[in-house]
Chains A and B, each alone.
Chain A
Amino acid sequence: EVQVVESGGDLVQPGGSLRLSCAASGFTVSSKNMGWVRQAPGKGLEWASVIYSGGSTDYADSVKGRFTISRDNSKNTVSLQMNSLRAEDTAVYYCARGGVVPGPNLAFDIWGQGTMVTVSS
């Protein structure tokens, strides 16, 4: 079965760090564009970051310089390292696969169930 499963969400203090992980099965993360999309409580979807199949990365302005996306091909996982966390980073974080063609392959066809990150003192 093709799926992704997120983990690592937690309660963290402002200024702290957290690392989210996304484990994929049924496909190889290195062959797809993989993204992180977040959703603050009661709010809409916000794109955070993407790692392309070629290995390059992109970030939303709101997280640039604080978040780092990476992947581990041997473990078939994608990670999001989040530093200097702020209250406004509080959200459910979804890992998603860019899986449809043609085009830039950034329409997300597989989503995880999400992991909650709460930034609060």
Chain B
Amino acid sequence: EIVLTQSPGTLSLSPGERATLSCRASQSSSYLAWYQQKPGQAPRLLIYGASSRATGIPDRFSGSGSGTDFTLTISRLEPEDFAVYYCQRYGGSPPITFGQGTRLENK
């Protein structure tokens, strides 16, 4: 079983600050995505392939990492960025695994 561990569980920051979210895999992963989910809404794809931004995603969102350690960075937080963020490993067996999520809250 492949486990994705996201840290921190909750991150308290203010608009304008930089956010750094971590995702660590129990086994090396070639493909990693990041999603944003707001209350009552479906998840939205932000990053795929560890570092490629999905269509329409602002460039303040960036992804990096390889192997077992991945990072989502939001360079300057906007009020609409406060949400829950999930990482997802895809490819291999099992084909899809999600992390438990990081809640980004407005301080």
Contact = CB atoms under 8 A, between A and B. Distances in A.
A111 B43 contact: yes
Interface in A84-121: 94, 100, 102-104, 106-109, 111-114
Q: How large is the interface on A (under 10, 10 to 19, 20 to 34, 35 or more residues)?
A: 20 to 34
A50 B49 CA distance: 19
Interface residues of B, number: 26
A100 B48 contact: yes
Contacts of B37: 45
B32 to A, nearest CB: 9
Interface of A: 35, 37, 44-47, 50, 58, 60-61, 94, 100, 102-104, 106-109, 111-114
Q: Which 7 A-B pairs have the closest CB atoms?
A: A106-B90, A107-B48, A111-B42, A104-B91, A47-B96, A107-B33, A45-B98
Interface of B: 30-31, 33, 35, 37, 42-45, 48-49, 52, 54-55, 86, 88, 90-91, 94-101
15 contacts: A44-B86, A44-B99, A45-B43, A45-B86, A45-B88, A47-B98, A94-B42, A103-B90, A104-B91, A104-B95, A107-B33, A107-B90, A109-B45, A109-B48, A111-B42
